[in-house]
Amino acid sequence: MREGGRSEAQVSYVAQAPRAQSGLTEDTFDQWVLPDGTPWTAFYRQENGYLLRFPDLADFFVSADGQRVEERAVPGVAPSTVQHLFLNQVLPLALSRQGKLVLHGSAVEVDGQCVAFIGESGRGKSTLAASFATRGRRFLTDDGLELVWAASGLSVVPSHPSIRLWQDSQEALVSASTKAAPAVEFTTKTRFLAGPEIAFCETARPLARIYYLGAGDADSAEIVPAKAADALLALIRNSFVLDIGEQEVLVRHFEELVKIANLPIHYHLDFPRRYDELPLVQAAIVRHAAAGAHA
């Protein structure tokens, strides 16, 4: 079991001795493929759970109830690589098997509440989280946004206390002394650990806003309300769900997202992709989050 009261503490984790990946008799029921066509993850249904295969990197067995993950790395693959795969890909899918709602999104704390940023890879989720966390505000997650219903409404659960950044974002946002995790083999992103320079919020916070990130066409920070149906489709697109072939899972997930989409918390956010603009973007978000529900 990993330490901590965060997302990764909700799954028991066992690392098996490394072994070469053997052929599997089952057919895949799903595959993730990189934009260049390279297979990235193959999904197999097995007795009592699922096998997630990252070719030449690692296999992960996820129990059907999502409570347990067994890792088996390919010999020679660095532990940091395997941990990266677990935190960013496998853990959110395991949590989805527990009936939890996990989205591709980052989140930061603003005045005791939380604002989340949702969008496809490259839209600036981690950059925004790092921008807040290096300028006096705390982040809750840089991806793997776990939402839970609390008595007061929807809350965000903190995930692993680290932020992954591409080289250009690192240079613009993070000082050379910030502690980083060891390098990972399949990406040039570096994982920076929370600490004095990157502030982390360790407790769940009520969710005040979700911002859907645009393509970066705006000349300055632009925030406009998002229609509920657009919000719902964006939430669906950015959800982690393991095995959409199970209809009851799909129905439960859909009903939950409909409930969230009908809340008055959804906005489109676009901003120019210039690092010198980030303090202004941050100020605009803080102002907006502090204003009324339909500001």
Residues found near another protein in the complex (CB under 8 A)? 227-233, 236, 244-245, 247, 250-251, 254-255, 258, 261-262
- With tokens 């290096």, the residue in question is 134
Min CB(252)–another protein separation in Å: 11
Min CB(209)–another protein separation in Å: 17
Nearer to another protein among residue 27 and residue 36 (C-beta):
27
What string of DSSP letters covers 147-202?
Answer: EEEETTEEEEE---SEEEE-HHHHHHH--TTS-BPPP-TT---EEEEPSSSS-B--
Min CB(261)–another protein separation in Å: 5
Structure tokens at 213: 């990130």
Min CB(237)–another protein separation in Å: 9
Min CB(255)–another protein separation in Å: 7
Min CB(285)–another protein separation in Å: 23
Instruction: Report, in angstroms and rounded to the nearest whole number, the Rg of the chain calculated over CA atoms.
Output: 19
CA nearest neighbour of 10 among 82, 78, 101: 101
Nearer to another protein among residue 165 and residue 257 (C-beta):
257
Min CB(257)–another protein separation in Å: 9
Nearer to another protein among residue 139 and residue 267 (C-beta):
267
Residue length of the chain = 295
Nearer to another protein among residue 36 and residue 255 (C-beta):
255
Do 57 and 75 contact (CB within 8 A), yes or no?
Answer: no
- With tokens 């007795």, the residue in question is 47
Min CB(233)–another protein separation in Å: 6
Element (H, E) at 167: helix 167-173
Query: How far from chain centre, in Å, is Cα 60?
Result: 18
Amino acid in position 141: T
Do 110 and 121 contact (CB within 8 A), yes or no?
Answer: no
Structure tokens at 125: 């989720």
Nearer to another protein among residue 58 and residue 260 (C-beta):
260
The half-sphere exposure of 188 on its side-chain side, counting CA atoms within 13 A, is 5
Nearer to another protein among residue 198 and residue 231 (C-beta):
231
Nearer to another protein among residue 186 and residue 254 (C-beta):
254
Do 203 and 148 contact (CB within 8 A), yes or no?
Answer: no
Nearer to another protein among residue 290 and residue 293 (C-beta):
293
Do 209 and 115 contact (CB within 8 A), yes or no?
Answer: yes
Do 13 and 71 contact (CB within 8 A), yes or no?
Answer: yes
